[in-house]
Amino acid sequence: MPMFATKKIDGSIRTVDDLRQLNKVIKRVHYILPKIQDIFERRKGYRFLTKLDISMQYYCFHLDEESSWYCVIVTPFGKFRRLVLPMGLANSPDWAQATMEEVLHDVLADIEIYIDDIAIFSKTWEEHIQLVSKVLRLLQDNGFTVKPEKCEWAVQETNFLGFWFTPDGLKQWHKKIEAIQKLAKPKTLKQLRAFVGVVNFYKLFYHRRAHIMGPLTDLNGLDKYEGQRNFSKYWTTAHDKAFEDTKRMVAKEVLLSYPDPNKPFTIETDASDTQIGAVILQDNKPVAFHSRKLTGAQGRYPIPDKEALAIVEVLTVFRSMLLGAQLNIKTDHMNLTRDDIKSQRLLNWRLLIEEYAPTITYVSGEENVGADFLSRYPLQSSAEEEQENALIPDSRALEESKLSEIMLYYPEEIETFPLRFETIHNSQLQDAALQQLRDQEGYGIEEFYGFQFVCKTDPEQDPRIVIPEALINDAIKWYHYVGGHVGSTRLYQTLSTHFYFKGLKQRVEEYVSTCDSCQRNKNPGRGVGELPPRQATELPFEQVAVDSIGPWEITIQGIGVIKFKALTIIDTATLLVEAGRVENSSSAQAALVFENQWLARYPRPLTCIFDQGTEFEGAFLRCLHRNGIQAVPTTVKNPQANAICERMHSTLGDILRTLLREQPPATIVDAYGIIDNALASVIFALRSSINRTFGVSPGALVFQRDMFHPIPLMIGYNQIRTERQRIIDDNNRRANLRRRYHDYQPNDQVLILKYNPSKLEERAQGPFRIHSVHTNGTVTIERRRNVLERINIRRIRPYRTNEHLHNNNNT
């Protein structure tokens, strides 16, 4: 790999390796780095702060023999192999952060670590001296050194991670602000994005940021090529004003007070037509600001929905700060304080808000000054219109010479570019119905590059060429392919800028919704088809759910790796669990464990739920039949169908991992003994833990007594079943809120969503014909001739096609 050197501020040299090719193939193990908001919430009340900088930190991590051969660098003096962690490797920050947190694990509550920067916070001098000494000793014991000239000792104020920490709160670091003030007006899209990015670094401090920077962020969405080549064409006086206003906004010093979770927060929110705003206060001092522009769809929400969106968003963004604290939300829309809400969207958001248990208070707009100002800070409509017009080139400026650049991305499915001026002109002459429009109101004749066209005229925009019926389908197809299978909204906006066709929006939506590639490759979004209601199990031991867990691997030193699995059995009414280790994945082994662990101990169930694993075939099915138990297999790759087992497996895995690491086995016998003991511990833990739905443990529910003391219990099964049914109904209702209604019918065409596809893999396969529809939320599809498969509607979506639109019809 190439290597280059850069000069540091102190004059020393830093070597950096060009490891881009290695980074492309390496599998990065991400480690979560701390966020400034989280640090801000944790450091209230400190008096002393020491900041340490680890000297040449990466070089303290030694590579193993195999890894070092991947890190060979080329220098003028020959090739050298790195023996320590190089800079420029994708995994380096993750390894460094994880290692530092492990080394300083004992003092993590009082320090903050960000790769090679450490900040130590204390409330007293004595505590600080002891803590600093302990941190330095831990660093020394693990081979790390600090750079004294970059450290600060027992100060009250300093910069850390680009922010200025003080005992009273958080500020912007003046050096970064000075650097922003010195920035010249951007000349390219790249420079604009860099400017917006550095300002957004301090977004917590500016309550008008989204509104002041609106014209700049809108321009930020320009196409990369166009933005680099013709940036000045789009820059207007509105952007000059926004740029200078942003620099003035940044120049103002703001102090955000540290949040105190033991004191109540006051949240003031408001919404206007185009933006939302919020202020979080504590003791009438600002803790955080939040504001942003609404998207196009959100801008069309009714006022109550916009108000609710502002509340939901500030609660979500600052969840770690606000959840569990006493909240008083002030809003100037009275409807949100009432209980008779009819909007489904508002009901969903109200449920989310209730998680925080806030007090919602109505405050008139005149009193709600802070948030009202945030959401209504004026954005000049004339500037917006100028900016919007600047982004749309004059239709007369279309040059045939630019077509050569477009043709580089030409779709092979279309034989010729359908919208050449000569092609449109000739096609219009052959369209008798279109020729009759030329003298009607709203239409006229315009000339472009020597050709006369029938155009749609509008006093508020440039004339748009009318596309003949013979070309419209190929035009939509061409732009859809060139735009990388762009969605219907952007495709319509692109075409309607220069062209007109009656019913163009509907034609575009129909084409995009029936595009085969889009349906197969784009993420499915909301589910299609509502899930049917489910009934809770009536009585204990009527139904059991069986599943296998594993395999797990256990490494035994000197012997190698052994694998094991377990069979779990749960009574779906009481959640009483049994589990047993299985020697292999055969159906005979599953049947044996089921008989020994359940049928030999408990009443015979009426039904048994299981997935379609091979261990639940053959001998297992014969076991069920022999005992008169109805088999209820779930549909393939639908873990929600056996959700009780899936949730239990997560708990089982956590406990097993913990126990196996506490006492690693030395022999195979030890390993199996530990596994059996772990399974027993898991079973008892799950049986004796209080269930939130029941209010008692599963064991107490079954045995009618406390699991630890000889205290009898009277259990009302009907009451428990009613509560379980309510929870099931609520979950079903919430799930259907995220799905679109659709009535599947026999002979419909559907796509099957792939289970956990890779990033570049198709999202769906098919289409397949529906053979029959069932009332339990499943359909039977015809995989191929005479091969049927039952599948849950969670895993399908309708397949739409329109051969007329997708066949070429050039004239």
The share of the chain scoring above pLDDT 70, in percent, equals 79
Statement to judge: residues 416 and 490 lie in one domain: yes
Separation CA 107–CA 100 (nearest Å) = 11
In a domain, 29, yes or no: yes
Query: Which tens digit of pLDDT belongs to each residue from 635-645?
Result: 655 454 445 55
Candidate ranges 161-175, 525-539, 575-589; pick with highest mean pLDDT? 575-589
Query: What pLDDT, on the 0 to 100 scale, is given for residue 367?
Result: 45
Q: Count structural domains, the chain.
A: 6
User: Do 688 and 584 lie in a common domain?
Assistant: yes
Q: Strand, coil or helix: what is 547?
A: strand
Kindly state the average pLDDT of the residues 178-186. 74
pLDDT of residue 381: 33
- Given a cut of 80, whether residue 575 has pLDDT beyond it is yes
Query: Does any domain span residue 570?
Result: yes
Examine the fold and report which residue of 222, 251, 280 is the final residue of a domain before the chain moves on.
251
> Which of 333-337, 359-363, 606-610, 665-669 comes out lowest in average pLDDT?
333-337
Regarding whether 493 and 365 lie in a shared domain, the answer is no
pLDDT-based confidence at residue 752 (cuts at 50, 70, 90): confident
* Residue 382 vs residue 608, higher pLDDT: 608
The answer to whether the beta carbons of residues 435 and 428 sit under 8 Å apart is: yes
User: What CATH number is associated with residue 97?
Assistant: 3.30.70.270
The whole-number pLDDT of residue 606 equals 92
| DSSP secondary structure, 447-512, as one string | EETTEEEEEEEETTEEEEEEPPHHHHHHHHHHHHHHTTS--HHHHHHHHHHHEE-TTHHHHHHHHH
Residue 792 bridge partners (DSSP): 778
Mean pLDDT, residues 536-543 taken together: 80
Whether residues 197 and 236 fall in one domain: yes
Paired tokens of 98: 């994880």
Name the CA dihedral angle for 32, 36, 39, 44, rounded to a multiple of 10 degrees: -170
Confidence band, pLDDT 50/70/90 cuts, at residue 390: very low
Q: Please tell me the distance from the alpha carbon of residue 61 to that of residue 503, in angstroms, as a whole number.
A: 65
Task: Indicate the pairing of strand 560-571 with strand 577-582.
Answer: antiparallel
Residue carrying the six token digits 């749309």: 392
Predicted confidence band of residue 605 (pLDDT cuts 50, 70, 90) = very high
Tell me how long the chain is: 811
* 47 and 145 share one domain: yes
**pLDDT over threshold 60, residue 499:** yes
Question: In this structure, are residues 29 and 94 in contact, taking their beta carbons and an 8 Å threshold?
Answer: yes
- Is residue 684 predicted with pLDDT exceeding 80? yes
**What's the first-to-final CA gap in the chain, in angstroms?**
56
> What pLDDT, on a 0 to 100 scale, did the predictor assign at position 203?
65
Confidence of residue 599 (pLDDT cuts 50, 70, 90): very high
What is the average pLDDT value for the chain, to the nearest integer? 76
Q: Do 645 and 601 share a structural domain?
A: yes
Model confidence at 144, in pLDDT bands (50, 70, 90)?
A: confident
Residue 396 pLDDT greater than 50, yes or no: no
pLDDT band at 628 (very low <50, low <70, confident <90, very high): very high
Of 158, 187, 212, the residue at which a domain comes to its end is 158
Q: Contact at 8 Å (CB) between 115 and 93? A: yes
Helix, strand, coil percentages (3-state) for the chain, rounded to 5, are 40, 25, 35
Which of residues 674 and 651 earns the better pLDDT score? 674
Quick one: which of 710, 810, 102 has its CA closest to 413? 810
Angle 695-604-535 from CA coordinates, rounded to 5°:
50
Per-residue pLDDT for 625 more than 50? yes
Query: What pLDDT does residue 372 have?
Result: 42
Tell me what the mean pLDDT of segment 134-141 comes to. 88
Half-sphere exposure (Cβ direction) of 404: Cα atoms closer than 13 Å = 1
Cis, bond preceding 767 (omega within 30 deg of 0): yes
Residue-wise burial string across 312-332, b where 16 or more C-beta atoms lie within 10 A, e elsewhere: bbbbebbeebbeebebebbbb
Note whether residue 65 is domain-resident: yes
Q: How far apart are CA 84 and CA 605, in angstroms?
A: 61
Question: For 87-94, what is the mean pLDDT?
Answer: 77
Q: Is residue 491 part of a domain?
A: yes
Nearest to 329 by CA among 339, 314, 347, 318: 314
The pLDDT value recorded for residue 340 is: 59
pLDDT at res. 122? 87
pLDDT tens column, 46-84? 888 898 888 887 778 888 888 888 888 777 777 888 888
Nearest CA-CA partner of 647 in 704, 602, 592, 692: 692
Please tell me the predicted confidence (pLDDT) of residue 210.
67
Could you tell me if residue 164 is inside a domain? Answer: no
Query: Residue 335 pLDDT > 70, yes or no?
Result: no
Whole-number Å distance between alpha carbons of 430 and 452: 14
Q: In the listed set 331, 347, 381, which residue is the last one of a domain according to the structure?
A: 381
Higher pLDDT, 200 or 564: 564
- Based on the fold, state whether residues 121 and 224 are members of the same structural domain: no
User: Looking at residues 121-132, what average pLDDT do you find?
Assistant: 88
Is the model's pLDDT at 594 over the cut of 90?
Answer: yes
DSSP structural state of residue 799: -
Kindly write down the DSSP assignment for every residue of 729-765, as one continuous string.
Answer: HHHHHHHHHTEE-----TT-EEEEEPSS--TTS-SEE
CATH code, domain carrying 793 = 2.30.30.140
- Residue showing tokens 């941190």: 135
User: What local confidence, expressed as pLDDT, does residue 624 receive?
Assistant: 92
The predicted pLDDT at position 214 comes to 72
Domain assignment present for residue 781? The answer is yes
Checking if the pLDDT of 228 tops 80, the result is no
User: Are 242 and 263 part of one and the same domain?
Assistant: no
Question: Which pLDDT tens digit goes with each residue over 257-270?
Answer: 777 777 888 888 77
Q: Which domain holds residue 276?
A: 259-381
CA distances from 489 to 226, 507, 763 (A): 21, 12, 22
Q: What is the pLDDT of residue 373?
A: 36
- At residue 220, the pLDDT reads 67
Number of alpha carbons in the 13 Å side-chain half-sphere of residue 766: 27
- Among 2-11, 353-362, 392-401, 721-730, whose mean pLDDT is lowest? 392-401
Task: Let me know whether 267 and 134 are in one domain.
Answer: no
Cβ(275)–Cβ(210) below 8 Å: yes
The answer to whether residue 270 is domain-embedded is yes
Closest-CA residue to 738 (of 531, 513, 522)? 531
Instruction: Specify whether 710 is located in the same domain as 636.
Output: yes
Which helix (H) or strand (E) covers residue 624, if one does?
helix 619-626
Per-residue pLDDT, 374: 40
- The amino acid at residue 31 is Y
Across residues 349-376, what is the average pLDDT? 59
Mean pLDDT on 379-405: 33
Residues 264, 245 share a domain: no
Question: What pLDDT shows up at residue 644?
Answer: 55
Q: Residue 655 has what pLDDT?
A: 67
Separation in Å, CA 662 to CA 656, 659, 695: 10, 5, 32
- Does the residue 520 lie in any domain? no
Task: Tell me the C-alpha distance between 511 and 498, whole Å.
Answer: 19
What band does 403 get if pLDDT is binned at 50, 70 and 90? very low
Residue 598: predicted pLDDT: 93
Q: In terms of Cα–Cα distance, which of 519, 485, 520 is closest to 762?
A: 520
Q: How many other C-beta atoms lie within 10 A of the C-beta of residue 570?
A: 25
Q: What is the pLDDT of residue 810?
A: 43
For residues 279 and 286, give the distance between their C-alpha atoms in angstroms, rounded to a whole number.
Answer: 7
Please report the pLDDT score of residue 10 as a whole number. 64
What pLDDT score does 638 carry? Answer: 47
Angle between helices 668-688 and 643-662 (to 10 degrees): 130
The whole-angstrom separation of Cα 805 and Cα 363 is 54
The residue ranking higher by pLDDT, 92 or 272, is 92
Structure confidence by residue, pLDDT tens digits, 435-472:
888 778 888 888 877 788 888 888 777 888 888 988 88
Contacts of residue 111, defined as CB under 8 A and 6 or more positions apart, other chains included, come to 104, 118, 119, 120, 121, 131, 135
Same domain for 453 and 571, yes or no, is no
Residue 433 clears pLDDT 80, i.e. is over it: yes
